A = this chain, B = another copy of it.
Amino acid sequence: MSLGMTGPEEVSVDAITLFVLLLSACIIIGHLLEKSQWLTESISALLIGLCCGVVILLSTQGKSSHVLVFNEELFFIYLLPPIIFNAGFQMKKKHFFRNFSTIILFGAVGTLISFFIITLGSLQLFKKLDIGFLEIGDYLALGAILSATDSVCTLQVLNQEETPLLYSLVFGEGVVNDATSVVLFNAIQRFDLSHITSTIALQFIGNFLYLFFTSTVLGIGVGLLSAYIIRKLYFGRHSTDREVALMILMAYLSYMMAELFYLSGILTVFFCGIVMSHYTWHNVTECSRVTTKHTFATLSFVSQIFIFLYVGMDALDMEKWTVVSKSPGTSVGVSLILLALVLIGRAAFIFPLCFISNLTKKSQNDKIGFKQQVTIWWAGLMRGAVSVALAYNQFARSGHTQMLGNAIMITSTITIVLFTTVVGGLLTKSLVRFLLPLQKHSGSTMMSDFSSQKSLNLPLLIGQESEADIGGTNIPQVPSLRMLLTTPTNTVHHYWRKFDDAVMRPAFGGRGFVRYAPGSPPELVVQ
């Protein structure tokens, strides 16, 4: 009504209008470019952000505008949770849990290896460059910042339908290494990591296990609570708006509680998404199912575009570049060194850990082939908004962007993010098609084409049961069935299914315990 009266808020009205306008433009352009093999929505958002940054710079005569500066809080509190939650919600649980040990190996041990290589490498190589003073903590932070795979980028280039194994490995790694990053950052602030003793190493491992366990339990707990509440309270008389609101609020609650307790919010909200899709989603009305499914997907979609737009605009904020431009050679050198370290750091853990992982697998089908290893290495190279946010957090904390060392670290991070996002985004799809042509021609691409226009009454593609169900009613899903027949059923999975059917589902609902009849009248029969 009367925002016009108030002074300081006027600026944010400007900024919000601009962002909403750009987001709409990105969606429309993304739609028009859908047929293009190269340009994805994320890259076009990045480019639109860059263009918009140029326009703002020109219109403000080269001065930086606050619109451009990356806001960590906005990113971590509002944009990231819906993306990770939706990934958990729409995750094919079978692939994720089959490769759980490998994912943990990548996310925990792999991130550590990468961290040490980047930290030690930069410590050695930066000595020769004149980049001003950096503390040992800065190098350690740099290692932590650049060793984390960006889950948001992964979602952009890997398709769950086309390459389910790759997707679950690389995306799962991105989720798990968030916990590693939290532990690393805490460790950097608490311990003197330049003298690593066995006690500190053990403490570190203990911290990781504690954090991983508590974050997971919190996510699962909130998810189960939502399932229980909706199952018990809405018994017989459903109210769509309340159900949808409660699901959204409780999903967000899990993330915020994790942040409040200094846990890994990403891990928590991811597991909350998995639990909600397995139990809660089956307890709500048909309307609520369609609504939540598409609302979560839409929120995630808009947040992703927003992030890339934001990273693109932020890249042109001038303050940091003016400091750096005094020594362009050093800046380019630092960026190249860091890029090389990222490449080497990732290679140094993907190939050895894949080898170890393959040793534990009996069936040839379960092993990760060399071409797949290369794709995993490549697809996880992208660094994104998480790196930018962390770089700002570390190097711009007390307004120290004016110092050469800090400014170079931020600009180099942004350079790496832009470079890996654009190159990775442009080439990954083609690389996947080139290296793994077999999977492309199997039934799954057909499947994804079908599922993109799937009917209202089709259940979500979640978990093994749903897949089998869809296979039965629609197209026989050849590769999935073949894998099911050739690989021996995992014992853990077998006992889990028994436990799920005997204890969990009767208490928390889920498929089979809330009768689901497509096209049924609005009054669904609840057991």
Interface residues of A (CB under 8 A from B): 1-6, 9, 12-14, 16-17, 20-21, 23-24, 27-28, 30-32, 72-73, 76-77, 80, 178, 181-182, 185-186, 189, 229, 233-234, 237-242, 244-246, 248-250, 252-253, 256-257, 259-260, 262, 264-266, 286-288, 290-291, 294-295, 297-298, 301-302, 386, 390, 393, 452-456, 519, 521-523
Contacts and interface: CB of A to CB of B under 8 A. Distances in A.
Given A287-B290, A295-B291, A249 B523 contact: no
Contact of A24 (B30, B72, B182, B246): B246
Q: Which 9 A-B pairs have the closest CB atoms?
A: A291-B294, A4-B262, A17-B256, A455-B522, A244-B298, A20-B253, A241-B298, A290-B290, A24-B249
Contacts of A252: 20
B239 A3 contact: no
Nearest to A30: B242
Nearest to A266: B1
A387 to B, nearest CB: 11
Given A17-B257, A181-B2, A456-B286, A31 B523 contact: no
A34 to B, nearest CB: 8
A124 B384 CA distance: 64
B249 A23 contact: yes
A256 B17 CA distance: 6
Contacts of A31: 233-234, 239, 242
A87 B96 CA distance: 42
Given A9-B73, A290-B290, A301 B241 contact: yes
User: How many copies of this kind of chain does the complex include?
Assistant: 2
A30 B245 CA distance: 12
B1 A181 contact: yes
B290 A256 contact: no
Tell me which of A1, A16, A521, A522 has the highest count of chain B C-beta atoms within 10 A of its own C-beta: A1
A294 B239 contact: no
A20 B257 CA distance: 10
Given A1-B182, A3-B265, 16 more contacts: A1-B178, A1-B266, A2-B181, A4-B262, A9-B72, A13-B256, A27-B245, A28-B233, A31-B242, A238-B453, A241-B294, A241-B298, A241-B301, A244-B294, A248-B302, A291-B291
Tell me which of A31, A186, A390 has the highest count of chain B C-beta atoms within 10 A of its own C-beta: A31
B239 A452 contact: yes
Contacts of A2: 76, 181-182, 185, 390, 393
A28 B226 CA distance: 11
A295 B244 contact: yes
Given A4-B182, A77-B9, A27 B242 contact: yes
A294 B290 CA distance: 10
Nearest to A7: B397
Contact of A298 (B6, B189, B248, B250): B248
A475 to B, nearest CB: 15
Contacts of A76: 1-3
Contacts of A260: 13-14, 17
